[in-house]
A = this chain, B = another copy of it.
Amino acid sequence: MGIDPGVASTGFGVVLVDGATMHAADGGVIEAPAGERTEDRLARIHEALAELLAEHEPAAVALEDVYFGRNARSAIAVGQSRGVALLAAAAAGVSCFDYTPQVVKMAVCGSGAATKQQVQRMVGLLLRLSGPPRSDHAADALAVAICHASHSRSAEALDAGRRGVPVR
């Protein structure tokens, strides 16, 4: 299960691996309306993720490492959402893994410099959807889930350095 934690919109995507193929079991966006207090928005994100984790019982949670290119204010806000996402995973007994944007793009498009549009297109193709996911956040969550699934599948054939790192 991939999660793209955000303030107003948190993407999620569940990828099932069946041998050499993958498909999407679920995907979408948890909306936390701007008019609400931050603590209530976080509670809404936490509750929705807890329900999804209980429903899908994923083998792992994968998140995109978002340390780069953000100012401190937006980093704090995204960190708060990451915090409740990680908490929901911990309560469900699911381990969490971070992947850098470059590693995600490489896994999905074969290039660490792929554009957002390329990633969305490849997510649609790899998961046999009728088109790219409509939501950017769901696409990003599915992409990091695909990335984790690919790396887990090929982990023994690859050097350990290309695997996701446990969340710091």
Q: Which residues of A contact B (CB under 8 A)?
A: 37-40, 42-43, 46, 66-73, 75-84, 86-87, 89-91, 95-96, 166-168
Chain B residues with Cβ under 8 A from A167's Cβ? Answer: 37-39
- Report how far A78 CA is from B79 CA in the complex, Å: 7
Say yes or no: B75 contacts A79, CB within 8 Å: yes
Offer 26 A-B interface pairs, CB within 8 angstroms, sorted by A.
Answer: A37-B167, A38-B167, A38-B168, A39-B90, A39-B96, A40-B90, A42-B86, A43-B87, A43-B90, A67-B72, A67-B76, A68-B72, A70-B72, A70-B75, A70-B76, A71-B72, A75-B75, A77-B79, A79-B80, A79-B82, A80-B86, A82-B83, A83-B83, A83-B84, A84-B87, A87-B87
Nearest B-chain residue to A83, judged by Cβ? B83
Determine if A73 and B77 form an interchain contact, defined as CB atoms under 8 angstroms apart.
no
Nearest residue (CB) in B for A89 is: B39
A39→B88 CA distance, assembly (Å): 9
Docked complex Cα distance between A67 and B79 (Å):
12
Smallest CB separation, A27 vs chain B (Å)? 22
